[in-house]
């Protein structure tokens, strides 16, 4: 057991982080296992979502997550999983836009004429410094 105050605090922090990380990893493993036993579009989505969450939390690296998701996609393709939910959303008719409320016309005196604006002069790009010789 640590004696120094900062070491005691560090030990507590490490224990908290470990618990959190183990929980996230458990969620990933459970989602992947559920998908591999019974492949479905929803299962694939859930597994990929858990992997993305782990990347966001800094638990997995991007390349590792990409490799795992590619493996899941390969398994989904081999088992013939179809993504009907995405296709249904794409084919669904667009909802009619809500009617806009009529806005009272503002008096013309309140608007500034377009000619009153000053043209903005463009600045020349800064010249690059030559590279220093070694």
For 94-109, write each residue's pLDDT tens digit.
Answer: 566 566 665 555 555 5
Contacts of 79 (CB under 8 A, 6+ apart): 39
Cβ atoms of 65 and 53 within 8 Å: the answer is no
Helix residue ranges, H only, 38-132: 41-56, 62-79, 84-91
Q: Is residue 10 part of a domain?
A: yes
Higher pLDDT, 67 or 112: 67
Work out the mean pLDDT of the chain and round it to a whole number.
82
CATH of the domain at 57: 1.20.58.110
130 located within any domain: no
This prediction's pTM: 0.59
- Total domain count, the chain: 1
How far apart are the C-alpha atoms of 79 and 5, rounded to whole Å? 55
Distance, CA of 25 to CA of 36 (rounded, Å): 16
Alpha carbon distance 104, 81 (integer Å): 54
Query: What does the alpha-carbon distance between residue 26 and residue 20 come to, in Å, rounded to a whole number?
Result: 10
Is the per-residue pLDDT at 123 higher than 60? yes
Residue 100 in domain: no
Q: Is the pLDDT of residue 90 over 60?
A: no
**Per the domain annotation, does 77 fall within a domain?**
yes
Query: pLDDT-based confidence at 81, cuts 50/70/90?
Result: confident
Q: Find out whether 79 and 39 touch, Cβ atoms under 8 Å.
A: yes
Give how far the C-alpha of residue 109 lies from the chain's centroid of Cα atoms, to the nearest Å.
47
pLDDT of residue 94: 57
Q: The domain containing residue 25 runs over which residues? A: 5-90
* pLDDT tens string 41-59: 999 999 999 999 999 999 9
- pLDDT value at position 128? 72
């Amino acid at each position: 057991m640590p004696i120094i105050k900062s070491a005691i605090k560090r030990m507590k922090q490490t224990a908290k982080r470990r618990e959190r990380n183990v929980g996230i990893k458990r969620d990933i493993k459970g989602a992947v296992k559920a998908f591999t036993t019974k492949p479905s579009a929803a299962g694939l989505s859930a597994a990929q979502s858990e992997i993305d969450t782990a990347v966001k939390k800094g638990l997995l690296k991007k390349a590792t997550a990409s490799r795992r998701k590619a493996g899941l996609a390969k398994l989904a393709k081999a088992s013939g999983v179809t993504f009907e939910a995405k296709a249904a959303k794409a084919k669904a008719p667009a909802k009619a836009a809500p009617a806009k409320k009529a806005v009272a016309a503002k008096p013309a005196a309140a608007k500034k004429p377009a000619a009153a604006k000053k043209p903005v002069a463009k600045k020349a790009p800064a010249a690059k410094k030559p590279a220093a010789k070694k």
